[in-house]
Amino acid sequence: MAWLYANEDEMSDTSSALTRQEAPNKLGLLKVFQKTMARRPRIAVVGSANIDLTTFTDKFPNPGETIFGQKFDLGFGGKGANQAVAARLCGADVFMVARVGSDLFGPATIENFKKLGIDTAHVKQVEGLSSGVAPIFVEPNGQNRILVVKGANDSLKAADVDAAADMLKAADCIVLQFEIPLETVYYTIAFARKHGIRCIVNPAPAQPVEMRALADLDYFVPNESEAAAVTGVPVRNVGDAKQCAQKLMTGGIRRVIITLGANGSLIAGPGISEHVAPFSVKSIDSSGAGDAFIGSFAVFLAEGVPELEAVRRANLYAGLSTTGVGTQKSFYDRARFDAEWAVQGRR
């Protein structure tokens, strides 16, 4: 754990406390360390966990035909899990509320969370259901075909949110997506509103929504296609994004952030409608960039970073995630991110 000091005077006070000749006052030292140590943000993710099964092949088989593939990759995915991993790598204490299947992938998913330091007290296996999986078939030209089987993700219910209530009440922010039942999403938004907890919703994959259920939502964070699907307003440029965001806010949402891929992002709310420029990175694979943005943004806000700067930082974190292949495997840890921010954040 890194020790962060608010200023040099506090660091000096701590040093003198440690070097005095008299017997140390353990309670006093504890108070000094508690004062000087920055508290980790607490992020709760209520959402999905999938397994990505990617097969690379020269061609797709014909009906009834069996062929050899070239390469296979198995990775941990799901938008909820990706966002939780991004938040954890950015330095937060992360708590996951999710459901996995009673197959081989269920325990592996839970173990992956534990290995990364994500709290799994409310990640449960569901008997008789498969874990969420995404078989992906990729041709040499990059063309792919994807099937998503939601499996146990579809069994995450309001009662499971209630069972995690004590943990959720202690969170600085609750993060949600649309890979779980919408009824559970709406229930969790209402829970966050009732208890005064910041809530971020990523409407992915895009579906029709009940705008009344999103009233007073803190942050609604779609990409261009998701924003267009929810509002019916095409998003082809920054001007379109501003119109789309305004329509969402008219429905009662407090803040809208539309991620624009290589064009950065747009943040809109009372008194603000601003395009936030992207950073220059050498992109290889954009998979999971939106999840990287949301997970990191939740952490930066919880740390007290001003809103607009938090969006800029999340832009960079998402951009950096595209410099590697895959989702969770391409996310930067906090030390690597801070080193990049020290250089690029000044520009």
Indicate which residues carry an active-site annotation: 291
Give how far the C-alpha of residue 92 lies from the chain's centroid of Cα atoms, to the nearest Å. Answer: 11
β-pairing, 93-101 vs 173-177, is unpaired
Instruction: Give CA separation, 313 vs 224, 265, 272, 292, 303, in Å.
Output: 20, 11, 18, 11, 12
What is the token pair recorded at 298? 């939740």
In the 3-class helix/strand/coil scheme, how is 186-221 assigned residue by residue? HHHHHHHHHHCCEEEEECCCCCCCCHHHHCCCCEEC
Q: Is 145 left (phi over 0), alpha (psi -120 to 50) or beta?
A: beta
What phi and psi, each to the nearest 5 degrees, are found at residue 11? -65, -40
Instruction: Give CA separation, 30 vs 13, 23, 24, 35, 38, in Å.
Output: 13, 14, 11, 8, 14
